[in-house]
Structure 1
Amino acid sequence: MESELKVLTRQSTNQRPEPELEQRDDRPLLKPEPGQSKCAAYVRRDVYGTMGRGKLSWAERLWLVPRLVILVPIRVVVGMTILVSYYVICRVCTVFRAPNREDGEEQEDYAHLRGWRRTVILRTGRFLSRAVLFVFGFYWISETRGENERELKSSDFKGVSGIVTERIREAYQDEFAPRMIIFPEGTTTNGDYLLPFKTGVFLAKAPVQPVILRYPYRRFSPAWDSISGARHVILLLSQFVNYIEVKRLPVYHPSEQEIENPKLYAENVRKLMAQEGNLILSDVGLPEKRVYHAALNGNISMPSVLHQKGD
């Protein structure tokens, strides 16, 4: 998500050393491999502990109860009102308009609207999206940008297939085409690690703009790692203030070598983002996360459990 590409494509980014391991304790975690905590990318370190089920002090409980009773319902009602309002706006803007259909598919596609309809949908969408974040406690969004843009390289799009790839191409070639946001890791972490990227998005051979999202926290970590979806939403909405940092890197234009090798393209972008975001490169993915979750829920037996030392 940031640009220091000269160093990136020809040098490998150094990884931060993995934290040392503590002796056994009560919190179950997968046994790390020698010199590496295999599931460290999914370990929660906030006040609420592993899976959001950690033991809370009485002071924290007393602080949490009024927020659950008052703040969460208010935010749910206001948030749903905003979503329904935007739905109505979209329906009004698309009334009497025939949706685009590809190859006889039944799915409606209004993404290529033009004129005032497109303007209304986009501008209200941006405004109401920010309104939802504000309601959920993200009152301020810290945004930074990279400085230098990588030199543009020529690319060709021959042989590209797949809906996602085609839409990425279209977005690059047509300024009125809908943009796509892709999360190439394919899952979520605790925000300290960067997992291997899926190569699908890089098959289009089109330039990408990396963006790094960070969620600083005091009590509850907004990062969705080893906590259930319902518990995550409830605890997130119970926080008076939530924080988010956005770092936009310059557009990354692939070199000729990266165009021919999507895996190299994906890895170089990943290394750049890790360097710019001060993130640890990890080789685990969604399968390991599922195993870790199964272990936490007691669905599989573990020969031993070790927990990574806290910050």
Structure 2
Amino acid sequence: MESELKDLNPKPISQQQQQQQQQQQTDFPNPSTIAPPKTTIPSSSSPPSTSKSWRRNSPAYVRNDVYGTMGRGELPWAEKFLLGIALLTLVPIRVTECNDLSEEPKRPGAIISNHISYLDILYHMSSFFPSFVAKRSVAKLPLVGLISKCLGCVFVQRESKSSDFKGVSAVVNERVREAHQNKFAPMMMLFPGFYFDAVKGTTTNGDFLLPFKTGAFLSKAPVRPVILRYPYQRFSPAWDSISGVRHIMLLLCQFVNYLEVTRLPVYSPSQQEKDDPKLYAENVRRLMAREGNLTMSDIGLAEKRIYHAALNGSNNRLPSVLHRKDD
């Protein structure tokens, strides 16, 4: 990361134009996998074309609804009037589930899901009552924090020592094995990046699927893949690149929000996958990407923080943004 921070000074415009022309001449990347972009960022004085390049480099975090970047788009008065009316109404979330109704020979030890919004955990809580790994700050959230404590969730600090995460992996491994063997034990709920994140660290815009950690796959127990999608016409419920206040307000201003859930059959690992947890995790991820028409991306938290810094014009605070610690 230190070597990448050396490239923060903006290049001359002529060099940027040459790079853009070279990029336009290259072939479009393979949609099955997207490599993480280089962690460099343009200055706030860079031309508009530079910010567009960041949209190309961080596609998993780009919002495409009518409310614009970070939900700050200018709206006509008619739109504002309708939003005001909708804000006074009860906001329903209509859930459509597509389940595999065949009898499952084995009980899964974990639910494996893509991560789009904080609404994800509310759905999973109402459907499976799972235990999950979450940021430590989630325990302080109203309602969700209380429920997560009752479910025996594992709370971690994101930027913690590797030894701490090894301990968390051991706990997750034991919980998954117990849930697989005991039908009265709560199943574990695993998102990409290992845990439920209340501050959109591992969430995407819903079109991409990030890698899964191997913690849930070390137990060699079967897992249940679940794919979530939020269809929308105007506002995207995705918790990706938008402030918390704007997201909640615009979410409440919709007359109805939709959630489509696809529960895939229980995935039982082969002997080769049992011997290689990384292969197990990757095969489950590829299955979910294929069935959910999702693009696999290895983009990470650092790229997301840089993208947000570019949108907010806070380039001078980039070192503190990259090394920020979250509870």
Aligned to 1:228: 243
Contact 2:63 2:241 in 1 (8 A): yes
Q: Whose radius of gyration is greater, 1 or 2?
A: 1
Aligned to 2:68: 49
TM-score of the pair, normalised by structure 1: 0.60
Contact 1:196 1:267 in 2 (8 A): yes
What whole-Å deviation, never above 9, does each CA across 1:210-231 have from its counterpart, x for those lacking one? 0000000011101111012222
What whole-Å deviation, never above 9, does each CA across 1:72-111 have from its counterpart, x for those lacking one? xxx5xxxxxxxxxxxxxxxxxxxxxxxxxxxxxxxxxxxx
Distance 1:285 1:147, change over 3 A: farther
Which shows bigger deviation, 165-174 or 183-192?
Answer: 183-192
Q: Report the Cα distance in structure 1 between the residues aligned to 2:216 and 2:279, rounded to whole angstroms.
A: 13
Contact 1:137 1:241 in 2 (8 A): yes
Contact 1:197 1:266 in 2 (8 A): yes
Contact 1:151 1:253 in 2 (8 A): no
Aligned to 2:179: 171
Aligned to 1:127: none
Distance 1:161 1:226, change over 3 A: closer
- Identity among equivalent positions (%) equals 61
Aligned to 1:137: 92
Q: Structure 1 residue 299 and structure 2 residue 322: aligned?
A: no
Aligned to 2:151: none
One-letter amino acid matched to 1:203 = L
One-letter amino acid matched to 1:281 = M
Q: Structure 1 residue 192 and structure 2 residue 207: aligned?
A: yes
Mark the runs of 5 or more structure 2 residues left unpaired by the alignment: 1-29, 35-46, 107-167, 195-201, 317-327
Q: Report the Cα distance in structure 2 between the residues aligned to 1:39 and 1:249, rounded to whole angstroms.
A: 28
Q: Report the Cα distance in structure 1 between the residues aligned to 2:169 and 2:84, rounded to whole angstroms.
A: 52
Give, in angstroms, the shift of residue 162 of structure 1: 1.9
What whole-Å deviation, never above 9, does each CA across 1:2-44 have from its counterpart, x for those lacking one? xxxxxxxxxxxx84699xxxxx858935537xxxx32001000
Give, in angstroms, the shift of residue 45 of structure 1: 0.6
Contact 2:212 2:285 in 1 (8 A): yes
Contact 2:170 2:215 in 1 (8 A): no
Distance 1:283 1:151, change over 3 A: farther
Give, in angstroms, the shift of residue 146 of structure 1: 4.3
Q: Report the Cα distance in structure 2 between the residues aligned to 1:150 and 1:274, rounded to whole angstroms.
A: 22
Q: Report the Cα distance in structure 2 between the residues aligned to 1:27 and 1:241, rounded to whole angstroms.
A: 36
Query: Which runs of structure 1 show a deviation greater than 2 angstroms over 4 or more consecutive aligned residues?
Result: 14-18, 24-32, 65-68, 145-152
One-letter amino acid matched to 2:99 = R
| Larger strand percent | 2
Q: Report the Cα distance in structure 1 between the residues aligned to 2:86 and 2:174, rounded to whole angstroms.
A: 46
1:1-311 to structure 2, matched below 5 A, reads 15=31, 28-31=51-54, 37-68=56-87, 70-71=88-89, 136-138=91-93, 140-146=94-100, 162-186=170-194, 187-300=202-315
Distance 1:178 1:148, change over 3 A: closer
TM-score of the pair, normalised by structure 2: 0.57
Q: Report the Cα distance in structure 2 between the residues aligned to 1:269 and 1:162, rounded to whole angstroms.
A: 20
Give, in angstroms, the shift of residue 291 of structure 1: 1.4
Q: Report the Cα distance in structure 2 between the residues aligned to 1:147 and 1:280, rounded to whole angstroms.
A: 27
| Structure showing greater relative contact order (alpha-carbon pairs closer than 8 Å, 6 or more residues apart) | 1
Query: Counterpart of 1:243 in 2: which secondary structure?
Result: strand
Q: Report the Cα distance in structure 2 between the residues aligned to 1:293 and 1:204, rounded to whole angstroms.
A: 36
One-letter amino acid matched to 1:169 = R
